[in-house]
Amino acid sequence: MIPDSVRIRVEVLNATDTRGLGRLATAWLRDHGFDVVGTGTAPEAARLDSTLVLDRSGHPEWARLAAGAMGGARIEARPDSLRYLDLTVLVGRSWRPPPQTLYP
């Protein structure tokens, strides 16, 4: 659970060939309290089978929260002080959106 006083800025990148998976992951993470500030598609060379959370700001506990929200994603520390982000979530092929409708 993300405390009310904390803002975790996240970028979501679809690292698959499945159209719309990044959009679904964005909605899912926002529903879990993350501030998704950017979305997009990962480069062809960065396609993944499993979801990967990159810790950009040195907050491993935030990366663990996002990994848990995504169903147990892998975590790697890749600090990047040039980005205005805390985390990058690369959504992999194995991630499945929840069965219920997120936004009717």
Read off the pLDDT of residues 37-50 as tens digits, 9 standing for 90 and up: 999 999 999 999 99
Q: According to the model, what pLDDT value does residue 55 have?
A: 98
* SS3 at position 49: coil
DSSP character for 21?
H
Residue 75 CB-density burial (10 A; 0-12 exposed, 13-18 middle, 19+ buried): middle
Q: For the chain, give every domain's residue range.
A: 9-91
The CATH number that domain 9-91 falls under is 3.30.70.2390
Confidence of residue 102 (pLDDT cuts 50, 70, 90): low
| Residue 19, token pair as written in the block | 């159209």
Confidence of residue 60 (pLDDT cuts 50, 70, 90): very high
| Residue 88, token pair as written in the block | 């990058």
Confidence of residue 20 (pLDDT cuts 50, 70, 90): very high
**What sign does the dihedral 9-13-15-19 (CA atoms) show?**
positive
Q: According to the model, what pLDDT value does residue 38 have?
A: 96
